[in-house]
Amino acid sequence: MIALIQRVRSASVEVDGRSIGAIGPGLLALIGVASGDDGARADRLLTRVLDYRVFADADGRMNLSLRQVGGGLLLVPQFTLVADTTRGNRASFTRAGPPAQAQALFEHLVNRAHEWHAPVQTGRFGAQMAVSPINDGPVTFWLEAPPSEP
């Protein structure tokens, strides 16, 4: 699983011209699910998103996590994050998880996020969405869940 996180002053998502999720200061996390991902990997990714230090401390250094500052989390499914773009001029989506698996894992991630953090808002899996971030910085990081340890 992949998360592209952006530190935001605010962010919102609309479907069919209607707002379905909005946060104030916090993180917008675009989530990609790859074939072979599972619930444990989703949990590890969420832990990284919540604990990644992207917010300024009293000295202006990025030493605080979303959990520490209590910011909002907007989770938006985005299958294009797992695209293979290494060849040609068109992305290949063979690495993407099958839609049913990807939706189940995104919903798992959302449920865990609600258990582990507040406030949490979401986009809608499979919908055409208009995502509006007001970036803070900008600060953007690509996170992947670490592999399982044997």
Given this model, what pLDDT does residue 150 score?
Answer: 53
Active site residues: 78-80
Task: Report yes or no on 149 lying in a domain.
Answer: no
Please, which pLDDT band fits residue 146 given cuts at 50, 70 and 90? confident
pLDDT for 19-53, tens place per residue?
A: 999 999 999 999 999 999 999 999 999 999 999 99
Task: Report yes or no on 7 lying in a domain.
Answer: yes
Task: Report yes or no on 100 lying in a domain.
Answer: yes
Task: Report yes or no on 82 lying in a domain.
Answer: yes
Domain count, the chain: 1
Mean pLDDT, range 91-106, rounded to an integer: 93
3-state secondary structure of 126: coil
Which CATH number do you get for residue 102? 3.50.80.10
Task: Report yes or no on 150 lying in a domain.
Answer: no
pLDDT for 131-141, tens place per residue?
A: 999 999 999 99
Of the chain, the end-to-end C-alpha distance in Å amounts to 18
What's the CA gap between 60 and 16, in Å, rounded?
Answer: 39
Mean pLDDT, range 114-134, rounded to an integer: 97
SS (H, E, C) 52-92: CCCEECCCCCEEECHHHHCCEEEEEECHHHHCECCCCCCCE
Give the domain extent around 137: 2-144
> Parallel, antiparallel, or unpaired for β 62-64 and 55-56?
antiparallel
Task: Report yes or no on 69 lying in a domain.
Answer: yes
